[in-house]
Chain A
């Protein structure tokens, strides 16, 4: 007999929920089916998430439809008196359940207050959970819009044993291509280009791609064709593929678009095709042009340390991530052996494209948020369970009478569960409505660098999720009350009049447990929120090291077709800079290759060594190499020790550079570096004299650590045809945009200005993710705290009300009101302290999850933990004080008369 592969436990559990008849007929068959389904999906590399989603939604739907069928079929049979249920067929039992649904609905309608409280609490939790899940689904789980997108990978260079990743060299690409490591592999580069059509030039994101690029992503053109080998010939027309968006916005969706010619960076290029909508990868490109290589023998392309290309590849048929990793590592090891001076310890690794796009922080933040709403939902469940327990206790008499009249315990349990299901589903429906609204808010408020968030909405998979979670939640909060009605003893309940006294010691214990759970969960959420708040506080207080107010930046790219020599570029940049600096309203102006705090731009990573030292690893300092015009540090209001560049620092004069203190310290220690010389050891190989030193400032965002930075004048090297205009203004910086446009237009009207933003905006943007995480966590935590307080208050009030008689007796025989107060508090304080303690303990477990999300805050931050502990103890005490005071006010006469 062939063995059937194992089916995940969750799915086997799901099948158990199906009607008996269905399970008897198809149970084994379904298991066999699913077993093969999962085994095959492993073989065909179908994404796990896809299989799970399809299979669970299909099964859940089938089960619901089966139950409906059973219900509909046996409705006509009519009411069956539930005398000996065990002897009834599954179908008859179903019709009994049908009655119970109606009965439960009636009973819920009778208790409007209880029902409204329960449904609203659930809707809040389910709505938040659904909304966050829809973002998680759209950003993290949904496959990319390319065929078999899970087989697309990004090859990257990496240092063995570290998590650092960087781009690849052309030589490594050639290795992979010639050794058939992948089905398709292509190098590409991103670039900004100016597209001139009818009106003003527009800046478009461009991907300059190798021949197999479109094979690797596996997409087809929606109009015309994609780039083909003929487009890579030396004399081929310079073909271009455009995005669906560009086609619609710039060309009005013209049907004759294929074949028309556009001007891109001063070159006439024929459009050969349009990409399908949404396929704008990589990084929202609007234009794809061929990467032309004059000769692969070019020494620059043969170099093994020229990591200037990005790469993309599709796994070879039959290959897995593991086998591909091994193949890449093998080739990289050979390269490392052949070029030990530059490639020692460097290897090449594949990263699945989605993981590469999302990075580490976004998924982590989203999972944390999902966990937070799940906690909120749990707290909501606990509250509803509490309400139900209290209600079950007051209904004990009804239940007891029904038992005495012959209703089986099973039936009573089922009754409770059916009620819970109704509550859960009603909460789910209301929650989905809430989620619709919340997703819109989330998408609008999300930081712009979260990929794919714009596609988040409450669509089918999300609805399926909400449905399943509603049912699970109903089971969660329904289970305890159900167990309670299972344990209830009819004789006791009726005998005692069923009004109070020992309403069941176990029910009291259950409710006290729930209080502890609720408190612990709230503590956990508040700790998470508190840590995120502290982190954002630190981020806000970061000293970036320069004056970011009144600074406006904007980037430009200079078309190589019209500015062919380095001299042309320098003349343009320096003229523009001088005009800007002289414009009224502008205090200082400069053009730099890379702007601080995530303002964008371009820099090189280089190794430098000081004069007189051999370029060995121990003498070299790793630097970020930037290019600038004179006046940059003036624009940032940063003092230069020594001197700034001037227009006379050009190719004819001594090569110079300005460094920051980190560089100076790393290379010269305490010595004054000015006048010393150092060189970039691997590429430029020219000694540059240090003429100025600037203080350290945060360069690549507020989270950046201190790093060694170097600036050289544009005029002293092969000038990069791009720059970021940086101006300090007299008035509000945003108002200077028109000045920038005017001056740029007067120098060259065909160059577009893009990414215009103030430095403050850039700083805010680099914190947007942290802020959103903190705001959402806090919102959820406050909700949770409110729910928990209400829950605790409810439970304690109830327990005091139950003890009215006993407390009345105590007061009658001489107990002081203070004694009664203490008596109640003595009962509740252990619960509060226990809950807080458990929560704090669980909070310590958050360490691993939260650490990567925090900035200069320890995940065990004592201040946060202490604040949360004190806050929750106060809330717990306040919630118990009100019922305790009420107990102390009991009039013994009234209390005793109630007997």
Chain B
């Protein structure tokens, strides 16, 4: 099946770690360790991925064509390392996931679990 015609909704919901990886790659290309550190920072140290686990998620995202290896950014980058970037399809899936989460948040607000916040 050609990628462009795939329905992003079919991949939902993403696992929390997958969502995190995609969100980090949305800010630019990164290698594995960079992704780990980014996640560590943005979750207040609560999500701490080790190599084997992280690359298992990365492979899953790769086989679904949500991310792909990126060309080297600059000369100073280490040629032995693999940088990943988000594919356009990946971006659509992430957006779909975020919309799904927003629906969930709205539901929580309606049920008074959390106070509504102006967008």
The stretch of A30-38, A527-535, A556-564, A884-892 that contacts the partner chain: A30-38
In Å, the complex CA distance between A33 and B31 comes to 9
Contacts of A2 in B (CB 8 A): 76, 78
Cβ–Cβ < 8 Å partners of A30 in chain B: 51, 55
> Chain B: which residue is nearest A58 at the CB level?
B50
Residue numbers in B under 8 Å from A54 (CB-CB): 48, 50
* A contact patch SS: helix
> Which chain B residues border A101 with CB–CB below 8 Å?
none
Of A1, A28, A61, which is within 8 A of B52 by CB? A61
Tell me if A29 and B80 are in contact (CB < 8 A). yes
Whether A62 lies near B80 (C-beta < 8 A) is no
Q: B82 to nearest A CB, angstroms?
A: 5
Residue of B nearest to A54 (CB): B50
CB distance from B44 to the nearest CB of A (A): 12
User: Is A36 a contact partner of B33 (Cβ separation < 8 A)?
Assistant: yes
Q: How far is the CB of B25 from chain A (nearest CB, A)?
A: 16
Whether A389 sits at the interface, judged by CB under 8 Å, is: no
B52 / chain A contacts, CB cutoff of 8 Å: 58-59, 61-63, 65
User: What 0/1 pattern do residues 17 to 45 of A give for CB contact below 8 A with B?
Assistant: 00000000010111011101100100000
Complex: how many Å from CA A34 to CA B76? 20
Alpha-carbon distance A30/B54, docked complex (angstroms):
10
CA distance A58 to B65 in the complex (A): 25
B50: A residues at CB distance < 8 A: 37, 54-55, 58-59
Within A169-210, the residues touching B (CB, 8 Å) are none
For A29, give the chain B residue with the smallest CB separation.
Answer: B82
Instruction: Give the residue of A1, A4, A37, A40 whose beta carbon is less than 8 angstroms from that of B51.
Output: A37
Cβ of B118 < 8 Å from any Cβ of A? Answer: no
Q: Do B33 and A37 touch (CB < 8 A)?
A: yes
CB contacts (< 8 Å) of B78 on chain A: these are: 1-2, 4, 32
Specify which chain A residues have a CB less than 8 angstroms from the CB of B55 in the assembled complex: 26, 29-30, 62
The reply to whether the CB of B13 lies closer than 8 angstroms to some CB of chain A is: no
Asked if B32 CB lies within 8 Å of chain A CBs, one says yes
CA distance A55 to B33 in the complex (A): 13
Q: Among the listed A32, A58, A65, which residue makes an inter-chain contact with B33, where contact means beta carbons less than 8 Å apart?
A: A32
B68 to chain A: closest CB distance in Å?
13
| B102 touches A (CB below 8 Å) | no
Given contacts A55-B51, A61-B52, contact A33 B32 (CB under 8 A): yes
Q: Is B42 an interface residue (CB 8 A)?
A: no
- Binary contact readout A60-100 vs B (1 if CB under 8 angstroms, 0 otherwise): 01110100000000000000000000000000000000000
Q: Known interface pairs A33-B33, A62-B51. Does A1 touch B79 (Cβ–Cβ under 8 Å)?
A: yes
Give the size category of A's interface with B. Answer: 20 to 34
A34 lies within 8 A of B51 (CB): yes
Q: Contacts of A26 on B, CB cut-off 8 Å?
A: 55, 82
Within A812-845, which residues are at the interface with B (CB < 8 Å)? none
Known A2-B76, A58-B50: A32·B56 in contact at CB below 8 Å: no
Q: A2-B76, A33-B33, A36-B33 are in contact. Are A58 and B81 (CB under 8 A)?
A: no
- Known interface pairs A36-B33, A37-B33. Does A29 touch B81 (Cβ–Cβ under 8 Å)? yes
Asked if B117 is an interface residue, CB under 8 A from chain A, the answer is no
CB distance from A893 to the nearest CB of B (A): 65
Q: Which of B24-64 contact A (CB under 8 A)?
A: 31-33, 36-37, 48, 50-56
CB nearest neighbor in A for B58: A26
Cβ contacts B70-97/A at 8 Å (1 or 0 each): 0000001011111000000000000000
Nearest-Cβ distance from residue A821 to partner chain B, whole angstroms = 59
Cβ of B80 and Cβ of A28 under 8 Å apart? yes
- Residues of chain A within 8 A (CB-CB) of B76 are 1-2
B83 to chain A, nearest CB (A): 10
**CA gap between A712 and B38 in the complex, in Å:** 66
Question: What residue in chain A is nearest B54 (Cβ atoms)?
Answer: A33
Q: What is the CB-to-nearest-CB distance from A585 to chain B, in angstroms, rounded to a whole number?
A: 63
Q: For the complex formed, measure the closest distance between the CB of B104 and the CB atoms of chain A, giving whole angstroms.
A: 30
**For residue A1, which residues in chain B have a CB less than 8 angstroms away from its CB?**
76, 78-79
A62–B56 contact, CB under 8 A? yes
Do B81 and A59 have beta carbons less than 8 Å apart? no
* B4 → A minimal CB distance (Å): 26
Cα distance A63–B56 in the bound complex, in angstroms: 11
The smallest C-beta distance from A70 to any residue of chain B, in angstroms, reads 13
6 sampled A-B residue pairs with Cβ under 8 A: A1-B79, A4-B78, A33-B51, A54-B50, A58-B53, A65-B52
- Which are the 4 A-B pairs with shortest beta-carbon distances? A62-B52, A58-B50, A28-B80, A58-B52
Known: A26-B55, A33-B32, A55-B50. 6 other contacts (CB 8 A): A2-B78, A4-B78, A30-B55, A40-B37, A54-B48, A58-B52
